[in-house]
Amino acid sequence: MPDLTRFAFIGGIYSNYWALRATLDDIDRRGVDLTHFLGDLGAFGPHPDRVPELLIERGIRGIQGNYEESLSTRATDCHCGYTDPRDNHYAQISYDYTFGKTSDRLKDWMGTLPGTIRLTAGDRRILLVHGSPRKINEFLWRSTSPAPFLEKLCDDYQTDVIICTHTGLHWHKPLSRNRHVINAGVIGRPANDGGRNVWYTLVEIEGSRVNVEFVPVIYEHEKLAGEMRAEHLPEEFIETVMTGWWTTCLEVLPPKERMAGRF
Amino acid sequence: MSEHPFVPLAALDTLWFQVAGTLCNIECTHCFISSSPRNRSHGMLSLADIEGRLAEARQLGVREYYFTGGEPFMNREMLPILEATLRQGPATVLTNGMLLTPATCGRLKDLFDASEYSLDLRVSLDGFDRATHDAIRGQGVWDKVMIGLRNLAAVGLNPVITVTAAAEGIESADGRTRFLEIIRSFGFEKPRLKVLSLFRIGAEEKRSRAYESWEHLTSSNMPEGDASVLQCSSCRMVTSKGVYVCPILIEEPEAKMGETLGETLRPFPLKFGACHTCWVDGVSCRT
């Protein structure tokens, strides 16, 4: 009988240490074997040192997102991958704030994180990436990531399971031969669905069987919003925390995902 | 004279279809392939043609499909073509918006809802008002596009409005803001806008000017840039005549790379004036 392994994957955290605490508490209650973060620890939220400090204190491993790559190389922007001027305007406000408030010690620590991690469980090979296996800031949306394209990524990168984040929206696509692509979502901000909760992902593997569960996390979002206001972060960001609807970085959304949101 | 730089195909992510050939119901003064009601340089693609190409594309792991012309909705099989495509992946149609009847829009909305993949529409406008727009796209076109946009809004589809740099002032922040307000006034609460560069080929060569000799890339004059943003690093274009490197160069015989997709996966030399525009402006034909 093959052993069962339970993984927890935490997508973009965006400085939301209130949600990170609630997520880690939830993971503790569920008897998870291994927890990983998938990058983009900063952006959007307040006090960007608090998330990395908490991850280091708890001994949680993970990979770089475009934020960690940019901060550790002292780049002038987040390389989020947006093309629209309004998207870029708000992305720059986030990045400038996060850059200014992240200590040099933690920026250097971010530079030591790997870009990808490979794991195995049962007979499955697992690849953790931030955006996609081929690019740290590539957006893998559900409605623009068809099966033939994802099958090719699994072939090219010799893996059975790809775990990614970066888009902010969670989804799972089962492929041929028990292969899977899973976007773990983010705990940094809600999933543009009018709910104030955020999402992390549990993956259970036994032999070649892969079971995926998206877990909603309720956290003290009003405290987060209060701190964002005290830090003079844009009112648009606070509105997202308080309502569950995205107000910025919308132009990058494909039509299906855009249609589902309020703005 | 140094040689032209080559761009390798990193992956065939985007497959374009010249689905209506070069046939169009209007004759814009800036059209880089001089589409018109009389231009039959490239022919229509049939549903059977598209289905054959989709089978090839599936093997190559293509991510997304774009349809252009001419005017795609002049192709009578356009809706079945979209239905077949949306079974395999996301699709975007570039249209002038003049043939978007209530019935067509209703059917497009059904396709949008039925597919797990995104269906997107891009409608071209070339000015802030009727007079400047019609000067480029033809007398009476603005009014017909307005009807098409209203029909799209009525079924709840939200197109990207594309505007070329021929619309004076569109490239400034103020111009963008003004245009977004105009799109909002058409009934779209989430206005979407993409500004496109002009290519000095086809009709545009006569409207403005041709590329000059210095506007050609060589290994020695190449400004710094990122080849991965170039269309030719991730796309190919299917027309009735074969497979071309990109959507822009279909009137250049040397830009035809083969008959099957598999034959066209090799690097391409950036030897044309239009390549200079793509490189210098960072143009992407993708949405």
* Residue B122, min C-alpha distance to chain A (Å): 11
Q: What CATH number labels B6-281?
A: 3.20.20.70
Domains of chain A: 4-260 (3.60.21.10)
Give the pLDDT confidence score for residue B169 in this predicted structure: 86
Q: Are strands A124-128 and A161-164 parallel, antiparallel or unpaired?
A: parallel
- Rg (C-alpha) for chain A, rounded Å, is 17
The answer to whether the beta carbons of residues B237 and B16 sit under 8 Å apart is yes
Q: How far apart are CA A87 and CA A105, in angstroms?
A: 29
Residue A190, classed as helix, strand or coil, is: coil
What ipTM goes with this model? Answer: 0.94
Please report the pLDDT score of residue A2 as a whole number: 56
Structure tokens at A140: 């893998």
Residue from A87, A176, A256 to probe the interface with B (highest B Cβ count within 10 Å): A256
CB contact under 8 A, A143 and B117: yes
Chain A contacts of B117, Cβ < 8 Å? 143-144, 146, 256
Mean pLDDT across B58-67: 98
Average the pLDDT over B82-91 and give the result: 98
Amino acid at B34: S
With an 8 Å Cβ cutoff, the interface of chain A facing chain B consists of 83, 85, 134, 141-146, 148-149, 151-153, 155, 250-251, 254-259, 263
3-state secondary structure (DSSP) of residue B92: strand
User: Is residue B138 within 8 Å of B28, Cβ to Cβ?
Assistant: yes
Please report residues of A whose CB lies closer than 8 A to that of B60: 148, 152
Confidence of residue B1 (pLDDT cuts 50, 70, 90): very low
Partner-chain contact A145 B63, CB within 8 Å: yes
Q: Taking Cα atoms as reference points, which of B82, B147, B154 lies closest to residue B121?
A: B82
> CB-based contacts of B254: which residues, under 8 Å, 6+ apart?
B271
B172: helix, strand or coil: coil
- pLDDT, one tens digit per residue, over A195-230 is 999 999 999 999 999 999 999 999 999 999 999 999
| Nearest in space to A95 (alpha carbons), one of A69, A113, A115 | A69
Instruction: Name residues 115-154 of chain B within 8 A of A (Cβ).
Output: 116-120
Contacts of B284 in chain A (CB under 8 A): 83
The percent of residues above 90 in pLDDT, for chain B, comes to: 76
CB contact under 8 A, B120 and A263: no
Q: Rounded distance, CA B128 to CA B144, Å?
A: 15
- Structure tokens given for B100: 């978007």
Give the residue extent of every domain in chain B: 6-281
Identify which of B61, B118, B119 has the shortest CB distance to residue A149: B61
Quote the CA–CA distance of B18 and B263 in Å, as a whole number. 18
